[in-house]
Chain A
Amino acid sequence: METILPILAGAIFASGVYLLLRQSVILTIIGIILISNAVNLALFSLGRITTENPPLIASGSVIPELPFANPLPQALILTAIVIGFGLLAFALALAYRSYKELGTVDQDTMLKDAEDTSSAIVTDSENNEKRNA
C-alpha cells in the first residue's frame, strides 16, 4: 500500500487543482475539499504506514505494544480534517450568499457585474434610508 498511497494522493490532488481552476465557485470549493483530502493522505504517507495496530496502550501496560502505527501524523491530520471542515462550511455559505446577492456562481460573471452590483447596493441602502426616514 506504500506505493499506492502516493499515486492516490497525486491523482486526488491533480483533480482538486483542476476543479479549483473552474469557473463555478462551487467547483472551486469542491476542488479545495479534494486538495485537503490529498494533503491529508500525503501527511499520512509521510508518517510511514507499516502496521495495522492502532497507537493504543493496553490496560496494565505503560507503553503500547510494538509495532504500533505512528500517532503523530494522525494527530496532525485530525486537526487538519476539522479545520478543513470549518473552511469548507464557511466557503459554501459564502458561495450560497453570493449566489443570493449576485444571482450567479460564475466567477467571471461576478467580476463583470461587480460595478453594477456595488452601485446597486448603494442605491439599495439609499432606498432603505429613505424608507426609514
Chain B
Amino acid sequence: MLTVLLIIFGVAFIAPWLHSILKEKTGWVLALLPLGSFVYLLSHLPQIAAGETITQSTTWVSMEFFEINLAFYLDGLSLMFGFIITGIGTFIVLYGSGYLSGHTDLPRFYIAVLMFMGSMLGVVLADNLISIFVFWELTSFTSYLLIGFNHEQEASRKAALQALLVTGIGGLSLLAGLVMMGFATGHWEVSALLNEGEVVREHAHYLPILILVLGGAFTKSAQFPFHFWLPSAMAAPTPVSAYLHSATMVKAGVYLLARMHPVLGATETWMILVGGFGALTLLISAWLSLSFTDMKQILAYSTVMALGTMMMLIGLGTELSMQALVVFILTHAMYKGALFMVAGAVDHEAGTRDVLKLGGLRSLMPISAAAAAVAALSMGGIPPLFGFVAKELVYEAALGAVSWPVLFISFAVVANMAIVAASAIVAIRPFYGKLVETPKKAHEAPLSMWIGPSILAALSVVFGVLPFLADKSLLIPAAAGVWGAPIDFYLSLWHGINLPLILSVLTLAGGLLIFWIWDGLRESAPMRVYQSAFATLPATVYDKLVDGMLGLAEWQTRVLQNGFIHNYLLTIITVALIGIGYTFLSKAGIHWNLQFADVHFYEWALTIAILVSLGIMMAFGHSRLTMIVGTGIIGFGLALIYLIHGAADLAMTQVLVETLTVILVVLVLTHVPKLKEVRSVASRSRDGVVALAAGLLMMMLIFAATAAPFDAFISEFYAEASYPLAHGRNIVNVILVDFRALDTMGEVVVVAIAGLAVFALIKMTRSGSSKEGKRYE
C-alpha cells in the first residue's frame, strides 16, 4: 500500500511534464492512476469480504517512547473509503481536464488533486496514529491549494485560508488527542488500539481525549458551529468541490470517528456529543440549503446535512446505525459527486449556476439533465434508487436509538423534507420549464465532463435495484469495521409497509410541498433571519476572531518592536533578570559568606579606587574626560587584581588591551559632541533599578557558584599534561596555542576581520573615491 501511495505522489510531481507532452489527452492518461489504484484495492476485495484484514508496516521513526511507522491497515471500512476516493478520483481527474481545459494552471490542478488523492488515501489506509495525522494535515494543505486555485481572486484566497485555519486548528486538537490516546494505552497502531477500547474508556483522560479528537473530526467534517468554512470553500473550481468538499475530504472526520468508534464510542458522552452535534448539524444545514439560489451553495449545505447525518449515525452507536452509516456514505458519495459535477457542467456551459437564471436546459444538455435527475432522485430518497435504501435505514436507525428516538427521528424527517426540496430544486429548476437566456450559449458538456456523473448516477440505480451486489462483499465488512465486531445484514428495496416507509412518504410529500412554495419561502423574513443566524453569523464570528488576532499581533509588535534600542535592551534585560533570578532563587537560594578578615590593605585600596571611579562615572556621565579616565582606572585595576592572584599573562594582556582601549576611546570621543542625557528622571531611575538588580544578581550568582564544591578535574589535566604532551612550561599559553589552538586561531580571525571592518568604516566612503569622501570630514 505504501508503494501505491508513493506512485501517486510521484506521478503528481511529474504531471506538469506529462501535460506538456500529452496536452489535451493528459486527463485521460492521468485518470489511469486512480483507476489503477481502484483496481489494486479491488484485488483485495475477496479477502476483505471473507472477513480478513490486511496490515503492512514500514518503520519510519523509532524512539524509546513511541514508534512512528508507515503502517497500513485495510479492512472493510478503509476499503470502502478507498473505493470512493479512487473511484470518484478517476472521474474527477477526467472532469477536471474538461472543466479547466485551456486554463493556464491546469498542470497545477493535476499536481494538487493527485497529491490530495494520495493524502486522503493515506488517511483511510494508515494504521499508525501519527501517520494518520500526517496524512490528515496533508489533505488540509492540498485542500488549501485547491480552494485557492483561482488565487487572483481575493474571495478564493480568503476561503482557502479560512478552510486551512479552521481545519488546521482542528488538526492540532486531533494531534493532541491522538498522542494522549497513544500514551494512555501504549499502542500507536489503530489495529492494536481496536482491542484496547476498555482501557481508553476507563482512562482518567478519556474525556479530554474524546473532546480533542472530536475537535479534529468536527472541524474537518464541517459540523455545526464549524460548518461555515465548507460553503465558503465552494470558491474552489467545481471538480475540487465535488471531490474534496463533498465526496472525500470532508468525510475524513466521519471516517476517523467511525474508525475510533470501537475505541472511544459506546459511552453516554460519546452519544450526546457525536449524536447531538450530528443531529443539530443535520437539521440546521438542511434548511439553510433552501435559503440559497446558487446550485453549489445548495449542494454544499446539503453536504453539511449529509455529514451531520453520518455523525448522528455514529453517535447513535447501535448495530443498525452502523449499517445505515456505511450504506449512506456510499450512496451519498455517488449522488452528491454526480450532482456537483452536473452543477459544474451547467456553470461551465451556461455561464451561471444561479437556479433563478436557468431553465429549460434539458433539450440542450440531455445527458447532464438525465444524470442530475437520477442523482437527485437518489438524494431525495425515492425508490428504486440506492438513496432510498439508505434513507430507510437512517430512519430505522433513528427510530432504534437507545435514548430520545423521537427527537432523532423528527430531526431526520424534518431535515430530509428540506433535502427532498433541495434535490428537486437542483434537478428541475435548471433543466425544465421555459428555456431561459443564459450568459453563455449552452450546449452539452464534453465527454470527459458527463461520463463521471452518468456512471455515478447509473450506479445509484444498479445498487438500488440490486442491493445484494454491494452488501455481502463490501458493506458488511465496512459496518463490522465501525461496529468493532462481526455484523450480518442484507439490503433490500422493499421492507413491507412499516413506519420508516410511512415516514418516507411523509418526507416526500413535505419536500414536494416545500419545493412548490420555495420561491416565496426563500424570500420570507423568517428564512432571511434563519440564514443570517446560522450561515452568516458563524462566519462573522470567525472574521472577528481573525481580525482580533491580527490586531493583537499588531499591538504587540508596536509595543515590543517600536524601533527604540533602549526599549529592546530594557525588555531583554528585564526578561533575562526575571527568568534567571526566579530559577536562581528557587533552585539555589541565597548564599552569604562574607569574610573581610584576610583582605590586605592594598586590596582595599584597589577596591575603593574602582568603586569610587564607578561612582564618579555614574554621577558625571556627560563628561567625556570622566568616562575615559574611569574606564581606564577600572581596566588597569582589573589588571592589578589579576596580577595579585597569580595570573601574570592575564594582567599583561589586560594592560595592553586597556591601553589600546583608552587610546581608541579618546580618538573617537574627541570627534563626537558632549554626551548629554535628556531622558526624564523617572526613565533614568527605572534604568537604575534594572541595573542595580542586574548587578545584585551577578553578585549573588558568583557567591552561590563559589560556595558549591569545586571540581578541578580539567584544570589538573592541563597542568599535568602541559609539559609531557606539549613541552610548554606556561600552562595558560599551552592551553591557548596548543590544546585549544583552533579556538585561538578563530579568535585571531575575528580580530583580523574586526580590524578590516574598522578600516572600512573609517577610511572608505560610499562613492568609493577618497575625493568624494572629503565631503564628510
Write the residues of chain A forming the contact surface with B, with a CB cutoff of 8 angstroms: 1-24, 26-28, 30, 33-34, 37-38, 40-42, 44-49, 51-59, 62-64, 68-72, 74-75, 77-79, 81-90, 92-97, 99-101, 105, 107-108, 111, 121, 124-125, 128
Chain A binding surface, main DSSP class: helix
- Name A128's closest neighbour in chain B (CB-CB): B767
**Smallest beta-carbon distance A91→chain B, Å:** 9
Alpha-carbon gap, A58 to B603, bound state (A): 28
- Name B712's closest neighbour in chain A (CB-CB): A70
Residues 670-696 of B at the A interface (beta carbon under 8 Å): 671-673, 675-679, 687-688, 690-692, 694-696
**Smallest beta-carbon distance B143→chain A, Å:** 43
Alpha-carbon gap, A24 to B665, bound state (A): 14
- Name A6's closest neighbour in chain B (CB-CB): B702
A10 contacts B699, C-beta separation under 8 Å = yes
Q: Chain A residues near B701: list those with CB within 8 A.
A: 42
Q: Does B579 contact A (CB under 8 A)?
A: no
Alpha-carbon gap, A30 to B687, bound state (A): 16
Q: Which of A33, A72, A111 has the most CB of B within 10 A?
A: A72
A56 in contact with B730 given A1-B603, A82-B657 (CB within 8 Å): yes
- Given contacts A6-B699, A75-B732, 17 further A-B pairs with CB under 8 A are A9-B702, A15-B618, A23-B678, A24-B677, A26-B672, A27-B627, A44-B650, A51-B646, A54-B648, A57-B730, A57-B731, A70-B715, A78-B650, A81-B657, A88-B661, A92-B664, A100-B777
A2 contacts B715, C-beta separation under 8 Å = no
A1 in contact with B736 given A30-B631, A88-B664, A93-B762 (CB within 8 Å): no
A42 contacts B569, C-beta separation under 8 Å = no
Alpha-carbon gap, A30 to B566, bound state (A): 15
Alpha-carbon gap, A38 to B694, bound state (A): 12
B564 contacts A107, C-beta separation under 8 Å = yes
B569 contacts A95, C-beta separation under 8 Å = no
- From B570, B638, B740, B754, A90 is in contact (CB under 8 Å) with B754
A12 contacts B634, C-beta separation under 8 Å = yes
Write the residues of chain B forming the contact surface with A, with a CB cutoff of 8 angstroms: 563-566, 569-570, 573, 593-596, 598-600, 603, 607, 610-611, 614, 617-618, 621, 627, 631, 634-635, 638, 641-642, 644-650, 653-654, 657, 660-661, 664-665, 668-669, 671-673, 675-679, 687-688, 690-692, 694-696, 698-703, 705-706, 710, 712, 714-715, 718-720, 722-724, 729-732, 735-736, 740, 743-744, 747, 750-751, 753-755, 757-758, 761-762, 766-767, 772, 776-777
9 intermolecular pairs with C-beta atoms under 8 Å apart = A3-B593, A4-B599, A6-B698, A7-B607, A21-B687, A24-B676, A49-B645, A54-B648, A70-B712
- Name B577's closest neighbour in chain A (CB-CB): A17
A26 in contact with B669 given A45-B702, A72-B715 (CB within 8 Å): yes
A17 in contact with B573 given A64-B719, A81-B657 (CB within 8 Å): yes
B678 contacts A96, C-beta separation under 8 Å = no
**Smallest beta-carbon distance B685→chain A, Å:** 11
Q: Chain B residues near A111: list those with CB within 8 A.
A: 563-564
Q: Chain B residues near A52: list those with CB within 8 A.
A: 644-646
Alpha-carbon gap, A105 to B631, bound state (A): 19
A69 in contact with B614 given A6-B706, A17-B694 (CB within 8 Å): no
A90 in contact with B692 given A17-B573, A26-B669, A72-B714 (CB within 8 Å): no
Q: Chain B residues near A71: list those with CB within 8 A.
A: 715, 718-719, 731-732, 735
A86 in contact with B570 given A3-B596, A57-B723, A69-B647 (CB within 8 Å): no
Q: Chain A residues near B657: list those with CB within 8 A.
A: 81-82, 84-85
Q: Chain B residues near A100: list those with CB within 8 A.
A: 776-777
**Smallest beta-carbon distance A114→chain B, Å:** 8
B653 contacts A21, C-beta separation under 8 Å = no
